[in-house]
Amino acid sequence: MVNACDAGREGELILHNIYTLTGRKLPLQRLWLTSMTNTSILASFANLLPESAKEGLRDSAVARSQADWLVGMNATRFSTIRIGGALRRESYSAGRVQTPTLMLIVERELEIRRFVPKTFWKIEANFSVAAGQLPRRRPSPWRHRP
């Protein structure tokens, strides 16, 4: 079996989860692509890596996934209790990625609410030249002529 998932932690985690759930009975090799040219793809297939070559990346992906679940679960419970959502039968969700992303949305919403419109001037003009005539040039008021 060849792991041809994305080169990186998430690709390792995807196949690791599938492989673990299916019972890990087939030998596993890793296709590691850093370029999508035909030459590079053929070279990568000719030089498949052993499963052990990327086990550190796989282990870090598993650890991060577990930490995300634990932190998200506990932070969600804490924020729900602390904010008082449990009394109102509401849940306040939190997590490693979700919380900073939500903060970006909140900050933008606050910027929009604090916006104070200001008067500005817009100048519009139409310029044209009669067919076959060159526009008359005026001397620049900024240039000194002797």
Most confidently predicted of 24-28, 109-113, 130-134: 109-113
Token couple for 139 = 């001397």
pLDDT in tens, 54-110: 999 999 999 988 888 888 778 887 877 777 766 777 777 777 777 777 888 899 999
Per domain, the residue ranges of the chain are 2-114
pTM: 0.54
